[in-house]
Amino acid sequence: MTLPRTNEHERFERGLRALSEIDGHAGEKVVAQLADIAPDFARYLIEFPFGDIYSRPGLDLRSREIATIAALAALGNAAPQLKVHIEAGLNVGLSRDEIVEILIQMAVYAGFPAALNGLFAAKEVFAARGLSGQERAA
């Protein structure tokens, strides 16, 4: 099997575009926080998940964020990353109610503590964005 060759600069640029579209300032903030401790890891974070995986055909960004929110909630130990991806879900068109349903669904497969932690993380994100009650994200 021959693997396609990809210019590292292309991966990085593609990753930056995807990161900006999906996570906006929250993603940029994470990358910036790594600059003084692990700049190579910041580059990997842009190139692999965003330049390679998020940029693949087959799933739209909305579907990818549903999967990501569910996975991070199920892990139960990734609250900061979950909050970033709840923001990302809102950025790519998920509504507040859809995110709540994703997190409620996690009670079945990851347990009530994981679902509760996810819901409390979502509550913080929604409050910061001014989404209260049953309002939907724009």
Domain residues for 97? 59-138
For helices 79-91 and 96-109, what crossing angle results, to 10°? 140
Cα–Cα dist 69/63, whole Å: 10
Q: CB of 89 within 8 A of CB of 65?
A: yes
Cα–Cα dist 15/60, whole Å: 15
Q: CB of 58 within 8 A of CB of 51?
A: no
Does 70 share its domain with 40? no
Does 67 share its domain with 52? no
Does 52 share its domain with 63? no
Residue 87's CATH number: 1.20.1290.10
Cα–Cα dist 123/62, whole Å: 20
Q: CB of 50 within 8 A of CB of 12?
A: no
Q: CB of 105 within 8 A of CB of 70?
A: yes
User: What integer pLDDT is reported at residue 31 of this predicted model?
Assistant: 85
Does 80 share its domain with 118? yes
User: What integer pLDDT is reported at residue 64 of this predicted model?
Assistant: 97
pLDDT tens string for the chain (138 positions)?
655 556 778 999 999 999 988 988 877 888 889 989 999 999 999 999 999 999 999 999 999 999 999 999 999 999 999 999 999 999 999 999 999 999 999 999 999 999 999 999 999 999 999 987 654 444
User: What integer pLDDT is reported at residue 7 of this predicted model?
Assistant: 77
The length of the chain, given as a count of residues: 138
Does 112 share its domain with 124? yes
Record the pTM. 0.85
Does 16 share its domain with 72? no
**Count of domains observed in the chain:** 2
